[in-house]
Chains A and B, each alone.
Chain A
Amino acid sequence: MYFDYANVLVFLAVGIGFVFFNMALGALVRPSLPTPEQKTPYECGEDPIGDAWVNFDIRYYTVALVYIVFGVEIAFLFPWAVVLKSAFADGRIGGMAFVEGVLFVGVLFLGLAYVWAKGDLDWVKSYSAKAYRPSPTPTPGFRAFPDPAAAPPVVTGPPAAVESSTRPAAPVGAGAAPSHGTPRS
């Protein structure tokens, strides 16, 4: 059995060695003409702005926390799954083992349901939509658009020309369309 894990160690060592062997082989031929520009981080052709090691979104932390719960769950479920069938077949455990498994999964599913209900599984959280409530006191001069209090506009036939003292009647005809600049002839 120790042979097995020694084998794995050798596999890891060979993998690492393969990388460095290839790098050394390439070093014989590959050019190396570094310039200060070449050493700058790639930011789509711009000069890099600020540090690359920026503060990170808290949502990734939540994902990691949720994962820990389930990672542990899988680690516990693996031995249960392996022995369940054979142990049940030769009578070492009864149906209770299955019930226990269901309970274990059920408790963790409760945890998932809790996180789900709290909204921590949502990547995009619409805080702004939840936080916005119209103020109970009306703002002076504020009118919602479209105004919910106003009656819906009634459309009856073509609109008549509006006679107004401040605004001339809407011009009729194609020739009166406002033209920007001088039209080319």
Chain B
Amino acid sequence: MGLLEHRLDENVLTTRIDWLINWARLSSIWPMTFGLACCAIEMMAVGAAHHDMDRFGAGAFRATPRQADLMIVAGTVNFKMAERVKRLYEQMPSPKYVIAMGACATGGGPYYKYGYNVVKGVDRVVPVDVYVAGCPPRPEALLEGLMKLQDKIRRSAVLRKPGLPEGALFVPAPS
């Protein structure tokens, strides 16, 4: 834990600094190059020309978890892979975020009933920030998930003590 992190009371200085740090964090969410199944194809489409994820500063896909902020679990997580997903999540430096993309990663999806080898939702392995519905989700849906994640980061406390009312310093996204 940082020397000042979560130790200060709320005042105009800490809220401004928190705003700045949150702005930086939400403006440069670098995802990890990491795809598990067919949702990954849609994830690639988000990075490609038509739905350009780089517009939000989130287009710098990093190949190593050490430099990534966001893990987009794109696809079916089976038990063999769950161990690796967990390890990759652990190897990311905090603050780290997870988007569960698609029905399989959210809750097992079509494999819920008979998929003996499928984890029924990646949230049983790693904490998930945003769930994106769809099978697979459209690229627009993933972009909306990214914006939801940005809203979530925007509300988080950095220097301030946690547990303040949510949205204490909520700045809406520019339209």
Contact = CB atoms under 8 A, between A and B. Distances in A.
B94 A31 contact: yes
A45 B87 CA distance: 6
A99 to B, nearest CB: 53
Interface stretch (B1-9, B43-51, B105-113, B133-141): B1-9
B87 A30 contact: no
B138 to A, nearest CB: 28
Q: Please tell me the size bucket of the interface on A.
A: 10 to 19
Contact of A33 (B3, B4, B88, B94): B94
B90 A35 contact: yes
B65 A29 contact: no
Interface in B117-175: 158-159
B5 A29 contact: yes
A40 interface: yes
Interface residues of B, number: 22
Contacts of A166: none
Nearest to B34: A45
B158 A29 contact: yes
Nearest to B18: A29
Contacts of A46: 84, 87
A123 to B, nearest CB: 24
Nearest to A41: B91
B3 A27 contact: yes
A40 B5 CA distance: 25
B34 to A, nearest CB: 9
B3 A28 contact: yes
B2 A40 contact: no
Nearest to A45: B84
A42 B87 CA distance: 9
Contacts, number: 45
Contact of B1 (A33, A37, A40, A47): A33
Contacts of B5: 29-31
B88 A32 contact: no
Contact of A38 (B84, B91, B159): B91
Nearest to B92: A38
Contacts of B86: 37
Contacts of A38: 90-93
A30 B94 CA distance: 9
Contact of B95 (A28, A31, A40): A31
B21 interface: yes
A64 B26 CA distance: 45
Contacts of A35: 90
Interface string B73-103: 0000000000011111011111100000000
Given A42-B64, A45-B84, A46-B84, A28 B2 contact: yes
Interface string B1-30: 111110000000000000001000000000
Contacts of B94: 31, 33
A38 B84 CA distance: 12
Interface of B: 1-5, 21, 64-66, 84-88, 90-95, 158-159
Interface of A: 27-33, 35, 37-38, 40, 42, 45-47
Shortest 4 CB-CB contacts between residues of A and residues of B: A45-B84, A37-B90, A29-B2, A31-B94
Given A33-B94, A35-B90, A38-B92, 8 more contacts: A29-B3, A30-B5, A31-B1, A37-B90, A37-B91, A45-B85, A45-B87, A46-B84
